[in-house]
């Protein structure tokens, strides 16, 4: 079986072949984007919040099958949760729900949780719950470049 040879679980393959919550929310309450378009994977997560819960969530991902599966799974995990509950979703939680990822693809689970957290923080900044953040130059990885310079 090809899935076993590549090291993907049935759950990863299911979320890759039939991703949930794909799309864009116009005028989202919160928006998160992570990744690096120069080197590959890029994830965007859009949320609508109602009564402090994630009422709707969509994603748009440019990347490998694992990145798409992770985006699908993290949106499923977060939908209906309070913002505080969704902020507790970890990279490990996403990988566990997907029944594991190959070691070389674990970074994809990082992107999903990070994009979700970024969208929630964006919402919190908009409503004044947390102060607006300035991008930090030191957050870039060694050798990482941005398309804008």
Checking if the pLDDT of 105 tops 80, the result is no
The 10s digit of each residue's pLDDT in 17-56 is: 999 999 999 999 999 999 866 557 899 999 999 999 999 9
Q: Is 108 assigned a catalytic role?
A: yes
Instruction: Provide the mean pLDDT of the chain.
Output: 85
As given in the structure block, the two tokens for residue 42 are 């890029």
Pick the catalytic residue: 3, 24, 39, 130?
39
Q: Three-state SS string across the chain, please?
A: CHHHHHCCCHHHHHHHHCCCCECCCCCCCEEEEEECCCCCCEEEEEEEEECCEEEEEEEEEECCHHHHHHHHHHHHHHCCCEHHHHHCCCHHHHHHHCCCCCHHHHHHHHHHHHHHHHHHHHHHHHHCCCCCCCCCHHHCCCCCCCCCC
| CATH code for the part of the protein at 2-122 | 3.90.1010.10
Q: What pTM does this model have? A: 0.83
Q: Is 64 assigned a catalytic role?
A: no
Pick the catalytic residue: 68, 108, 113, 115?
108
């Amino acid at each position: 079986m090809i899935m076993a040879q590549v090291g993907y679980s049935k759950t990863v393959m299911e979320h890759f072949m039939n991703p949930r919550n794909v799309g864009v929310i116009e005028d989202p309450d919160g928006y998160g984007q992570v990744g690096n378009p120069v080197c590959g994977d890029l994830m965007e997560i859009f949320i609508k919040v109602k009564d402090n819960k994630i009422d709707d969530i969509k994603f748009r991902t440019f990347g490998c099958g694992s990145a798409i599966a992770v985006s699908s799974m993290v949106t499923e995990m977060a939908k209906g949760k309070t913002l505080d509950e969704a902020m507790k979703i970890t990279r490990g939680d996403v990988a566990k729900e997907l029944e594991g990822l190959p070691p070389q693809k674990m970074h994809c689970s990082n992107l999903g949780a990070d994009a979700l957290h970024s969208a929630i923080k964006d919402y919190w900044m908009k409503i004044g719950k947390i102060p607006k953040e300035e991008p930090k130059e030191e957050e870039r990885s060694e050798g990482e470049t941005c398309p804008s310079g």
